[in-house]
Amino acid sequence: MQFKTDSSPFVGSVSHLGGVMRQVLYALIPAIIVMSYFYGWGILINIILAMIIAVSFEAVSLWLRQRPIKAFLSDYSAIVTAVLFALTLPPLVPWWILMVGLFFAIVIAKHLYGGLGYNPFNPAMVGFAVLIVSFPLEMSQWLHPRWEEGNLPNLWESLQIVFKGTHELYSQDQWDSMTMATPLDDMKTELRSHYFSEIIITDSYGWVSGRAWEWVSIAYLCGGLWLLYQKIIPWRIPVALLSALTCIALIVNLWEPDQHQTSLFYLFSGATMLGAFFIATDPVSAATTPRGQLIYGACIGFFIYIIRTWGNYPDAVAFSVLIMNMSVPMIDYFTQPRVLGAKREKS
């Protein structure tokens, strides 16, 4: 009897790329709920719009590159990029901002580099960085979270703002009064003239890092811990990132007490938690060896501190991640684990 031949192993994997990506999406749900609670429809509109745009860009890119569209769309990677990207944007940004950002994220950062698995830079962060450099104003206008200054726009109003701009509904003054800088940004400005302990007790700062933001951060943290528990992301990157950030903030605070934000403030403000668990852990662009991941995470934490404290941009996660993305090949090469039976000192 004749048989077909092929090569071992004949047993295949139980896990599946789309499955892995889906878990990441599930882990973002708590944060999406919390953010929507505070900022209204703007968040969901961002996410849904981003998903539609990203999938279209992905499909077109795949088609142009003559890749099987269905197989690659079902890996969910474009959707994950879209959602992460959308979550970094202020609610109710104009639709074309999303277009521009996602064009850079999906078409330039991902497909021009060869598609999934070949992109050296985190696509969502590329999109974000391009936007914050090009449209700093639009990117820093956050709505006042719920319970301050009246009501959030309803769904219809939100859609109008996104697609037609604000001027049809509000005067410029009205709109300005509805938005604010993020606590992270605000804190930086205030610190020039006040002590940290004075600022933090003011009303808008909740118990640690700004009323809405601390809850959003906790939601990210929960989602991240769940991913860790599911072994979807490696623990080394978030742990190294958060510890490095905490330690540097602690040291600087010992040096010049009360003139800088505390470690806790750093951890629970801005996109720290999002970055630590969802952005820096993007496997394609992160370091892959165990020791490499520690170095990679710690360096991102370090850069977040540096850029937030002395840089010009409101948040630093995107730039820190992009900087470290560049060093990944080198980190990986020099941190290869010790092969079984290899000499210890060589390691």
Partner 1 sequence: MSLLTKSSFWTFHGGVHPECHKAMSTQRAIQTLPLPKQLIIPVQQHIGSPAELLVTVGDTVFKGQPIATMASQQLGATIHAPSSGTIEAIKKHNIPHPSALDGLCVVLRLDGDDDWGDYQPIAYADLDQYTNKQLLARIETAGLVGLGGAAFPSFVKLKNSSKKGIETLIINAAECEPYISCDDMLMRERADEIVKGLQVLLRLLQPTRCLIGIEDNKPEAIVAIKKATTPFDNVAVCAIPTLYPSGGEKQLIKILTNKEVPDGGIPFDIGMLCHNIATVYSLYNAVIKGEPLLSRVVTVTGDGVKQPQNIETLIGTPVSDLIKQAGGYTEKAQRLIMGGPMMGFTLPHDAIPVVKASNCFLIASVSALQQTKSPHALQAQMPCIRCGKCMVACPVNLLPQQLYWHTQAKDFEKVVAHHLSSCIECGCCDFVCPSHIPLVSYFRFAKSELRSQQLTLEKANISRERHEFQEFRRQREKEERAEKRLKHKAALQRKKASAKGKNPKADAIKAAMVRANAKKVARAAEAKANSVIKKNPQDEAKGES
Residue 142 backbone dihedrals phi, psi, to 5 degrees: -100, 145
Q: Quick one: which of 137, 201, 254, 340 contacts partner 1 (CB under 8 A)?
A: 340
Contacts of 111 (CB under 8 A, 6+ apart): 58, 61, 62, 65
Tell me whether residue 17 or residue 208 sits nearer to partner 1 (CB atom). 17
**Given the complex with partner 1, which of 216 and 286 has the nearer CB atom?**
286
How far is it, in rounded angstroms, from Cα 2 to Cα 235? Answer: 49
5-64 positions binding partner 1, by CB under 8 A = 5-20
Q: How does DSSP assign 266-285, residue by residue? A: HHHSTTHHHIIIIITT-TTT
Query: Shortest distance, CB of residue 11 to partner 1, whole angstroms?
Result: 5
**Interface pick for partner 1 out of 154, 174, 202, 336 (rule CB under 8 A):** 336
Residue 119 neighbours by CB distance under 10 Å: 24
Q: Which two tokens stand for residue 206?
A: 């909740």
Is 345 a residue that touches partner 1 (CB under 8 A)?
no
Nearer to partner 1, 194 or 291 (CB): 291
Taking the complex as a whole, the smallest distance from the CB of residue 118 to partner 1 amounts, in Å, to 7
Q: Which stretch binds partner 1 (CB under 8 A): 116-124, 160-168, 214-222, 306-314?
A: 116-124
Number of residues this chain uses to bind partner 1 (CB under 8 A): 46
Which tokens belong to 137?
């104003």
What is the closest distance, in whole angstroms, from the C-beta atom of residue 341 to partner 1 in the complex?
4
In the complex with partner 1, which residue's Cβ is closer, 72 or 305? 72
How far apart are CB 98 and partner 1 at their closest, in Å? Answer: 25
Could you tell me if 152 and 345 are in contact, meaning their C-beta atoms sit under 8 angstroms apart? no
Cis peptide bond N-terminal to 9, omega within 30: yes
Q: Is 66 in the site for partner 1 (CB under 8 A)?
A: no
Rounded to a whole number of angstroms, the minimum distance from the CB of residue 322 to partner 1 is 17
Alpha-carbon distances of 66 from 17, 53, 60, rounded to whole Å: 21, 20, 10
Task: In whole angstroms, give the CA distance from residue 35 to residue 212.
Answer: 8
Closest CB to partner 1 among residues 7, 151: 7
- Per the document, the length of the chain is 347
Residues that bind partner 1 (CB under 8 A): 1-20, 68, 71-72, 75, 77, 115-118, 234, 283-284, 286, 288-290, 332-333, 336-343
